[in-house]
Amino acid sequence: MYHRFDGYDELKPLLDGSDGDILRAFDGKPVLIRIPAASTVAAPRARLVSCLLHGNEPAGFRSVVEVLRRGERFPFDLWVLIGNVRAATEDGLFAHRHLDDQEDFNRVWGDDVPLLGASETRRCARAMLDELRSADLEAAVDIHNNTGRNPYYAVVPDPTPEARRLAALCADPVLAWRPHARPPLAALPPLRVHLARLHVEADFGKGKYTGEALGNRAHL
């Protein structure tokens, strides 16, 4: 249902291509990547960056790829979720939020989403969510675009001190808002008390959430 990569070895040949080449190599399937922590870390926690939950929102994907091309290891396991690859590669690149025969990939997460007779999208989301829940996440950032000519802003679904601190490092405007939709961050429980969950919006006018900015935040 989705591609799974562990470490850089399998990724490196893909990362030599363009952003479009990388997406097309995924053959329409979502992707879950784990970059293990640096070997000097004894008991690493994990952090997640998710992107491309909507196929026409490329900021997070471009930034994640920029970071991955550096081949760095961090003092934590870095998890990357790349969402609706099929919508992002249909009719060119980044043309569709989701396709007519798809559910919105940002609305299908959570334990209360029934799996009996469920679509492949929902079954895929549940499988990815189960794996992420076993990863001992301490922080998660979900990067989106919107159509406004606005600055970056962060949405905090659970305004704990840790989440507010992470949000302040990512963007100046910070909104506390628990979405009614079913995005992946809302489905991730506080596996430990200090799981910080953050949704970041970058407007289309700015083009992308820069890899430099994402890399800086990855070291937090």
Q: What is the pLDDT of residues 132-182, one digit of tens each?
A: 989 988 888 888 887 777 777 888 877 888 888 888 888 888 888 776 655
Residue 12 has pLDDT above 90, yes or no: yes
Percent of the chain topping pLDDT 70: 79
Helices 59-68 and 211-218, packing angle to 10 deg = 70
pTM of the entire predicted model: 0.85
Beta carbons of 184 and 129 less than 8 angstroms apart: yes
Confidence band (pLDDT; 50, 70, 90) for 211? very low
Number of domains in the chain: 1
Mean pLDDT computed over 120-131: 92
CATH, residue 128 = 3.40.630.10
Percent of the chain topping pLDDT 90: 50
Beta carbons of 109 and 48 less than 8 angstroms apart: no
What is residue 162's predicted lDDT score, i.e. its pLDDT?
A: 83
Residue 205 has pLDDT above 50, yes or no: no
Segment of 21-25, 165-169, 203-207 carrying the highest mean pLDDT: 21-25
Side chain identity at residue 107, one-letter code: R
Per the model's pLDDT, the better-predicted residue between 132 and 201 turns out to be: 132
- pLDDT, the chain, mean: 82
Q: Which residues pair with 199 in a beta bridge?
A: 142, 155
Across the beta sheet with 31-35, the strand order is 3-6, 31-35, 77-82, 46-51, 137-146, 196-203, 153-156, 174-176
Beta carbons of 71 and 42 less than 8 angstroms apart: no
- Residue 164's domain comprises 3-218
